[in-house]
Chains A and B, each alone.
Chain A
Amino acid sequence: MLQVPTSETAPLKPHVGCRELFMAFCSVGLSGFGGVLPWARRMLVEQRRWLTDEEFTNIVSLCQFLPGPNITNVSICVGARFGGFRGAIAAVSGILFVPVIIVILLAMLYDAYGHIKPVQDAFRGISSAAAGLIVAMALKMAYPLHRSVRAMVFMALAIAAVLILKLPLIWILLTLVPLSIAVAWMMRR
């Protein structure tokens, strides 16, 4: 569990029950269209003040390097921090429960009406825009890397490995990641 620093200046960890965790992450899961993380920050840091800005950033950067969806990892870490194992379960089910039901209902509608031409036409538009959302996020994430030649090279290698060589992800992770870490280690200041 994320320990609260024991120094006197550290803010007290608020008391948060499992039910509260479930409800809070439920609301986050429901508000996030195309990206839940900004909503999670709003709820955790600004509205409920369960975490400080720095605590939130630390948890997110940890969760980015853990396997699994980032936002469910954030909910698990926050849930574990306030309610241990049960808290983690409460938080992760909160963030998944309602969206999963909604998306299954949408999928049933799509199955019933998806073969109709207007629906197919609309979906051609939506899927192009959905691809654009991902491209835009990728560009936002890539921008901070442009000052590091090393980072740009490894980013390009990862792109080529997927798009040109069509390697399974596991091989990319087993080769490029250790190589990238080794180079980062050699170039450390």
Chain B
Amino acid sequence: MNERGILTELAIQFGLISLISIGGAVAVLPEMHRAAVEVHGWMSSETFANLFALAQAAPGPNVIIVTLIGWHVAGVPGALIATVAMTGPAFIMAYGASQAWERWHRVQWYKTFERGVVPITVGLIVASGCLLTSASGYGWANYLITAATVACVLFTRVNPLIVLSGAALLGLTGMI
């Protein structure tokens, strides 16, 4: 496909994902994975996991995974288009909502809405975690690293960056 075709595809794909990304970028990771790996064949599952790891290792919001997918597919223009497509539609809705929120946020139906949406959001994020765990490798050592990271985050106050660097070192020394 030519350059412009790919850029259009990126813009449409991430514009659509933006509109359904309730619960944030992590909740739509499985959807991005489906789009990038299965639907469009832009990359392998392993590359996807590596790009996500890059996004986690860099400062900034998790949504920059989108920047990386765009960059992988079509270089710097792809990165910019994917980022704008992912934030643009959400921007319009957030801006509108910020104006309407004061009127609604105390009414009963809004609270019921919240109670209904929360479990789905959390379920989607759990699914993201499972998907990334299996995409990042199949050996026991990989699962151990994932489990150790979970334990560190839940039970200690260690900076996640230290955990990430520790995992990188373990990888370097060939233990994984």
Contacts and interface: CB of A to CB of B under 8 A. Distances in A.
Is the contact region of chain B dominated by helix, strand, or loop, or is it mixed?
helix
Interface stretch (A14-22, A42-50, A102-110): A102-110
B56 A73 contact: no
B41 interface: no
A127 B50 contact: yes
B176 A106 contact: no
Contact of A107 (B24, B59, B68, B83): B68
Contacts of A139: 126, 150, 154
Contacts of B152: 132, 136
A180 B122 CA distance: 13
How many B residues are at the interface, by size bracket? 35 or more
A73 B122 contact: no
A2 B98 contact: yes
B137 to A, nearest CB: 6
A132 B59 contact: no
Contacts of B20: 67, 169-170, 173
B146 to A, nearest CB: 4
Interface of A: 1-3, 29-36, 58-59, 61-73, 76-77, 80-81, 85, 88, 92, 95-96, 98-100, 102-104, 106-107, 110, 114, 118, 121-142, 145, 148, 150-159, 162-163, 166, 168-170, 172-173, 176-177, 180-185, 188
